[in-house]
C-alpha cells in the first residue's frame, strides 16, 4: 500500500472522528446544563437522580457504556436493530457520558457566582431565566473554560474508543492498515493527526477565552 492510499483511508477515518467529536459537543454541552440545574434543584428527588446519574457515568468506563448501548437492546429485549445502530449507540454513549462531566463543571462554575449578583438582578427586575442567561452564564463560561477545554481535548482522543463498536474512525483505520502492512507507520501518522487536531482545538479555545476577557472576576 502506497502512502497516498494510506492517507486517503486515514482521511476517511478522520471524517468519522470529526463527526463523533462534533455530535458529542452539540449534544453534551446543552444537556450538561440541564443536568447541572437538576443536580442543584431544590426538588430533592430530582437532585438525587441527577447525582446518581453523574456518579454512574463518571464511575464506569466509557467503553463499557458504549458496549452496553450497542448490545443491550438485543440481550435485554431481543431487539435486532439495523447496522446503523452502532453509529446511534456511539453518539448517544458519548453524549450521555460527556454530559455528566460537563454538568459537574457547570455546577462548580454556577456555584462560584456570588449571591449578591442574583439579588442585584432581582432588584433590577430580571426574571430567574434572564438572570441566568444574561448575567450568570457568560461569567460561568469564562470561569469554567479551562476545565471545559481539558475535557474537549480529552474527547478528541476518546473518539478512538468507537473502535469497540466496529466504527471505522481514524484509530480503527490505522489499526487495520498496520495489521495488513505489518508497519507502525499508520499509528505514527494517526498520532500526528490527533496531535494536530488537539492543537486546532486549543487554538479555538484560546480565541474564545480572549473574547471573554471583558468578564473580570
Residues 97-112 pLDDT 10s: 999 999 999 999 888 8
Examine residue 216 and state whether it is found in any structural domain, yes or no.
Answer: no
Record the cell numbers describing residue 179, joined without a space. 495489521
| CATH number for the domain harbouring residue 34 | 1.10.3720.10
Handedness of CA 90, 171, 208, 41 (dihedral sign): positive
The rounded distance, in Å, linking the Cα atoms of 64 and 130 is 40
> How many domains does the chain contain in total?
1
Residues 156-178 pLDDT 10s: 999 999 999 989 999 999 999 99
Examine residue 158 and state whether it is found in any structural domain, yes or no.
Answer: yes
Residue 217 pLDDT > 60 = no
Examine residue 183 and state whether it is found in any structural domain, yes or no.
Answer: yes
Examine residue 198 and state whether it is found in any structural domain, yes or no.
Answer: yes
Examine residue 217 and state whether it is found in any structural domain, yes or no.
Answer: no
CB 96 within 8 A of CB 109: no
With vertex at residue 81, the alpha carbon angle to CA 79 and CA 84, rounded to the nearest 5 degrees, is: 165
Record the cell numbers describing residue 185, joined without a space. 507507520
Q: How many CB atoms lie under 10 A from the CB of residue 100?
A: 23
- For the segment 62-84, the average pLDDT, to the nearest whole number, is 89
The percentage of the chain sitting over the pLDDT mark of 70, rounded to a whole number, equals 98
CB 138 within 8 A of CB 215: yes
Intra-chain end-to-end CA distance of the chain, in Å: 56
Decide which of 21 and 214 is more confident: 21
pLDDT, residue 1, reads: 73
Residues counted in the chain: 217
What is the value of pTM for the model shown? 0.89
CB 53 within 8 A of CB 98: no
Burial of 202 (0-12, 13-18, 19+ CB in 10 A): middle
Confidence category of residue 141, pLDDT binned at 50, 70, 90: confident
Among 116-125, 145-154, 157-166, the range scoring the smallest mean pLDDT is: 116-125
Residue 216 pLDDT > 70 = no
Record the cell numbers describing residue 128, joined without a space. 430567574
Confidence category of residue 214, pLDDT binned at 50, 70, 90: low
The rounded distance, in Å, linking the Cα atoms of 21 and 171 is 14
Using alpha carbons, select from 36, 207, 28 the residue that is nearest to residue 109.
36
Examine residue 8 and state whether it is found in any structural domain, yes or no.
Answer: yes
Examine residue 41 and state whether it is found in any structural domain, yes or no.
Answer: yes
| Structural domain boundaries, residue 173 | 3-211
52 CB-near residues (< 8 Å, 6+ apart): none
The rounded distance, in Å, linking the Cα atoms of 99 and 155 is 12
Record the cell numbers describing residue 145, joined without a space. 473554560
Amino acid at each position: 500500500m502506497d502512502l497516498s492510499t494510506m492517507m486517503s483511508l486515514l482521511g476517511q477515518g478522520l471524517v468519522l472522528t470529526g463527526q463523533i467529536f462534533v455530535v458529542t459537543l452539540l449534544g453534551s454541552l446543552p444537556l450538561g446544563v440541564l443536568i447541572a440545574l437538576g443536580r442543584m434543584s431544590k426538588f430533592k428527588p430530582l437532585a438525587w437522580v441527577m447525582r446518581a446519574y453523574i456518579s454512574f457515568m463518571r464511575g464506569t468506563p466509557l467503553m463499557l457504556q458504549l458496549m452496553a448501548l450497542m448490545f443491550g437492546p438485543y440481550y435485554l429485549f431481543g431487539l435486532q436493530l439495523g447496522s446503523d445502530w452502532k453509529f446511534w449507540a456511539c453518539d448517544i454513549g458519548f453524549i450521555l457520558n460527556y454530559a455528566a462531566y460537563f454538568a459537574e463543571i457547570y455546577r462548580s462554575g454556577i456555584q462560584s457566582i456570588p449571591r449578591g449578583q442574583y439579588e442585584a438582578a432581582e432588584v433590577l427586575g430580571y426574571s430567574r431565566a434572564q438572570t441566568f442567561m444574561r448575567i450568570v452564564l457568560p461569567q460561568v463560561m469564562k470561569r469554567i473554560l479551562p476545565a471545559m477545554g481539558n475535557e474537549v481535548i480529552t474527547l478528541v482522543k476518546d473518539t478512538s474508543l468507537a473502535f469497540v463498536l466496529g466504527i471505522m474512525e481514524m484509530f480503527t483505520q490505522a489499526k487495520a492498515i498496520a495489521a495488513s502492512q505489518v508497519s507502525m507507520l499508520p499509528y505514527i501518522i494517526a498520532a500526528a493527526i490527533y496531535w494536530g487536531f488537539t492543537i486546532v482545538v486549543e487554538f479555538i479555545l484560546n480565541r474564545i477565552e480572549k473574547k471573554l476577557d471583558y468578564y473580570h472576576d
